[in-house]
């Protein structure tokens, strides 16, 4: 375990840059398809019976649903990050019916929730054989996707056949397929920079006060190796972090069995790839104080270091912006008031 990384990045045993051996998984994956390749390995070689994770909802493709994938093809159909609300923990009851262990894939918050559930439910703990989290800067709301559809010229979301946020290239294009008023099939694309640049403004408040953007509670976490520029047409690569000894064993066995290619081993790739995340962690310190001062709900975080990163990682301008921005958000988002949850014809989702 790297002691010097613990306060900022959680448990780090080893870090690699790598990718799926299977070219179709690598291509369709968000970065290098590492999450899917590891999940595929657990199905093919470890006797696991399924993978609990997220796919586009079949009937409303701009929403997400939890799926228990049992085959490589099902895994491939769910590759690619979906920058919209998803709650893979709502499928935990499916896991209880399984005879063999399963792999759980989700955001850091999803994995933290699973870990907590496993602590209080020993049967569930036996069924979840491996947890994989991906790095997460925050989830944009459904409204973000709906506004992006409008920007792309899709006025009626009920005409949408599919939405992909990335993958099929690295980082890949945001792609929507829909029917025009004349009934013709149409497809529109946007670059990752443009689509994420737009969507990130719709991140939920919960993500602004999230202490874990890199999956500290998982056995394995994966993200983008953003420590360098991606060249035009470069095939995808993932940053792969072993968080537990079990995670490391799975990674090395997946490599030996020909599911994963591990290219480069270097723990400094983690901080180099996500340099802004220490500042994000520091920002939580004043945010929690401001929430308390204005009578808003305040989460309780145990075992995280915030003040040191607030003091050392942010400039005075960033500190000022963070404080003012938080006070503005308390009132703009009405964080100190109860919020009504609305339903619309297409959405069974909170519109905030």
Ligand X SMILES: Cc1cc2nc3c(=O)[nH]c(=O)nc-3n(C[C@H](O)[C@H](O)[C@H](O)COP(=O)(O)OP(=O)(O)OC[C@H]3O[C@@H](n4cnc5c(N)ncnc54)[C@H](O)[C@@H]3O)c2cc1C
- Contacts to ligand X by CB under 6 A: 29-36, 53-54, 78-83, 86, 88, 105-107, 110, 134-137, 139, 167, 222-224, 238
Nearest approach, Cβ of residue 110 and ligand X (Å): 6
Residue 245: other Cβ atoms inside 10 A = 11
End-to-end CA distance of the chain: 40
Q: Looking at beta carbons only, is 8 or 80 nearer to ligand X?
A: 80
Nearest to 165 by CA among 64, 270, 40, 58: 64
Q: Looking at beta carbons only, is 62 or 135 nearer to ligand X?
A: 135
Nearest approach, Cβ of residue 251 and ligand X (Å): 12
Q: Looking at beta carbons only, is 157 or 172 nearer to ligand X?
A: 172
What's 219's DSSP letter? S
Nearest approach, Cβ of residue 49 and ligand X (Å): 16
Nearest approach, Cβ of residue 18 and ligand X (Å): 10
Nearest approach, Cβ of residue 29 and ligand X (Å): 3
Q: For the chain, what is the radius of gyration of the CA atoms?
A: 20
Contact by Cβ (8 Å): 241, 34? no
- 160 token code pair: 């949408």
Q: Looking at beta carbons only, is 93 or 340 nearer to ligand X?
A: 93
| CA angle centred on 97, ends 246 and 93, rounded to 5° | 85
In the chain, helix, strand, coil percent, each to 5? Answer: 40, 20, 40
What's 235's DSSP letter? P
Q: Looking at beta carbons only, is 180 or 351 nearer to ligand X?
A: 351
- 182 token code pair: 């004349």
Q: Looking at beta carbons only, is 50 or 106 nearer to ligand X?
A: 106
Nearest approach, Cβ of residue 301 and ligand X (Å): 20
Nearest approach, Cβ of residue 6 and ligand X (Å): 20
Nearest approach, Cβ of residue 181 and ligand X (Å): 31
Nearest to 10 by CA among 312, 310, 219: 219
Q: Looking at beta carbons only, is 80 or 330 nearer to ligand X?
A: 80
Nearest approach, Cβ of residue 231 and ligand X (Å): 17
Is 252 in a helix, a strand, or coil? helix
Contact by Cβ (8 Å): 149, 190? no
Q: Looking at beta carbons only, is 179 or 204 nearer to ligand X?
A: 204
Distance CA 145, CA 332 (A): 21
Contact by Cβ (8 Å): 310, 286? yes
Q: Looking at beta carbons only, is 30 or 145 nearer to ligand X?
A: 30
Burial class (CB in 10 A: 0-12, 13-18, 19+), 60: middle
- 284 token code pair: 């939580």
């Amino acid at each position: 375990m790297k002691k010097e990384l613990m306060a900022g990045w959680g448990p780090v045993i080893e870090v690699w840059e790598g990718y799926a051996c299977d070219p179709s998984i690598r291509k369709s994956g968000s970065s290098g398809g590492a999450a899917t390749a590891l999940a595929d390995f657990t199905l093919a070689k470890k006797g696991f019976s399924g993978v609990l994770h997220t796919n586009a909802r079949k009937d409303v493709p701009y929403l997400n649903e939890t799926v228990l994938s049992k085959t490589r093809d099902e895994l491939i159909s769910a590759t690619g990050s979906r920058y919209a609300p998803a709650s893979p923990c709502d499928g935990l009851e499916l896991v209880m019916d399984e005879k063999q262990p399963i792999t759980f894939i989700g955001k850091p918050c999803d994995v933290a929730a699973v870990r907590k559930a496993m602590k209080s439910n020993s049967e569930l703990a036996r069924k979840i054989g491996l947890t994989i989290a991906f790095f997460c800067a925050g989830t944009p709301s459904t409204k973000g996707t709906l506004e992006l559809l409008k920007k792309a010229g899709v006025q009626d979301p009920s005409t949408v056949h599919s939405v992909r946020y990335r993958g099929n290239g690295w980082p890949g294009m945001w792609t929507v397929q829909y029917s025009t008023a004349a009934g013709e099939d149409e497809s529109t694309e946007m670059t990752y920079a443009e689509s994420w640049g737009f969507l990130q403004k719709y991140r939920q408040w919960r993500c602004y006060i999230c202490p874990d953007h890199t999956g500290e509670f998982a056995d394995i976490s994966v993200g983008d190796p953003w420590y360098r520029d991606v060249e035009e047409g470069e095939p995808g690569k993932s940053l792969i972090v072993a968080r537990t000894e079990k995670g490391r064993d799975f990674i090395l066995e997946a490599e030996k069995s020909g599911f994963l290619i591990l290219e480069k081993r270097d723990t400094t790739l983690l901080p180099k790839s996500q340099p802004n995340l220490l500042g994000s962690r520091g920002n939580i310190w004043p945010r929690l104080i401001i929430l308390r001062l204005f009578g808003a709900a305040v989460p309780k975080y145990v075992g995280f270091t915030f003040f040191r990163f607030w003091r050392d990682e942010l400039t005075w301008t960033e500190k000022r912006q963070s404080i003012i921005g938080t006070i503005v958000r308390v009132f703009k988002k009405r964080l100190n008031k109860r919020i009504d949850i609305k339903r619309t014809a297409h959405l069974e989702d909170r519109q905030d």
